[in-house]
Structure formats: C-alpha cells, structure tokens
Chain A
C-alpha cells in the first residue's frame, strides 16, 4: 500500500522568506502523480501544484515549485516570497495510475508571520 509521510507537523517563517515543506512516499508503482494541496482556515482544500512521475522537469506555479526526486521518493514544496495568505495546512498527496486511490500525508501547518 502506498504511504505518504510529512515529517514537519508545523513550520513558521517571516513574510517574504522562502520555505520548503518536505514529503516522502512509498510505492512500488512506476507511473503515478503527486500533488500539494492547501487547506486554509476556511477548510476548503485547494490544489497548489501537481507533478507527473514520468516527467523529470520539476513543476512550477508562480511562487510555488517542487523538487521531485523519484529515486529517493521525495517531493518537497518550495514557496518563494511567502505571503500572509499562504498560512494554511499543506498536504502532500499520491495518486497511483492503477487503482487511482488518492492518499494524503499528515499535513504541515504553515504560519507566515508579518
């Protein structure tokens, strides 16, 4: 069974700083997708960024980028020029091509301080 691990329960940085959230996963699959979701206090889950396992190039979305290391089964999220609105829970998620089961990590609570 696939598992997703986020080893940082909480992080806190100052506004405008860069922060990196860690995620590792365990799978025997070769084709899969990885996601980072954001859950602000409103509770609404929002997709931040996605990465296809067969693509070597790291995905980027404006201030958000990932460092995907397939051999190490690592998928970290970097937030540049952090903003107060980035304060939220961040979840790493794994989707396997076969069963299409979507599994989430335990989450990292990120606080951006003014």
Chain B
C-alpha cells in the first residue's frame, strides 16, 4: 500500500480479554516502531524492529505486552489480560532504514478497555 496501515481503527474490549493490533508498514521499510499515546499525551515508545535484528523491547510496560514481526513486514502487537489503563491510541510507524529517513505513521488503533 501507499502508506502505513493499522487495523482495527477502533477496538473496544472487556477487561481481562486479549487483543491483537495489526500494522502493515510501507513495503520495503526495514524499521518498524510501536508507540502508545494516552489521551492528549506524548508518544511512549514500546518496541522497535530493525530488519532481522533482535527487537528493542525496552519500552514494553509489562509482560502482558508482546509484539512480533513476521517476514520482516507485518507486525502484531498483543496485549494479554487487558486492563483499563491500557486504553490509549497505539501508533505504528515505519522507516526505510539508515539515517535521515522520515518515519511514516499509521492512523493508529484506539483501544478502549471497559
């Protein structure tokens, strides 16, 4: 596709359920980032994939959060046993790789845990 695609755009889930958020990066982009943005707040780094290297998971807030990137393309962020404080917009971005390259963002997934 022409841009970064995230699905679903909105997700309402019950507390305690697991959710999966999907990100389709721009074709050929080797770097992929996940961020969490609470209402009106900044972008909290979650995880970063670069090519075949081990991902940088330093921003994942707890072991309920995990992410994978299959075949160097599509990425899935999984939140297990969701809690109300997980409610936020989850943004995905991709970059071509190397330096001086712009990060392109998806529209995000708004997750609401009720």
Contact = CB atoms under 8 A, between A and B. Distances in A.
Chains A and B come from one and the same complex: yes
A106 B45 CA distance: 11
Given A43-B89, A107-B41, A97 B108 contact: no
Interface residues of B, number: 24
Nearest to B30: A100
Interface string B55-76: 0101000000000000000000
Interface stretch (A13-21, A45-53, A66-74, A78-86): A45-53
A45 B43 CA distance: 11
Contacts, number: 56
Contacts of A33: 99-100
B42 A45 contact: no
Nearest to A96: B99
A33 B41 CA distance: 23
A35 B93 CA distance: 14
A63 B14 CA distance: 46
Contacts of A31: 99
Interface residues on chain A, size class: 20 to 34
A91 interface: yes
Contact of A105 (B31, B42, B91): B42
A105 B42 CA distance: 6
A33 B35 CA distance: 19
Contacts of B42: 6, 91, 104-107
A103 interface: yes
Contact of A52 (B31, B56, B100): B100
Contact of B48 (A50, A101, A104): A101
28 contacts: A6-B42, A33-B99, A33-B100, A35-B102, A44-B107, A45-B91, A45-B93, A45-B103, A47-B103, A50-B100, A52-B100, A89-B40, A99-B56, A100-B31, A100-B48, A100-B50, A100-B97, A100-B99, A101-B45, A102-B33, A102-B48, A102-B95, A102-B103, A104-B43, A105-B42, A106-B41, A107-B43, A109-B40
Interface of B: 31, 33, 35, 40-43, 45, 48, 50, 56, 58, 89, 91, 93, 95, 97, 99-100, 102-103, 105, 107-108
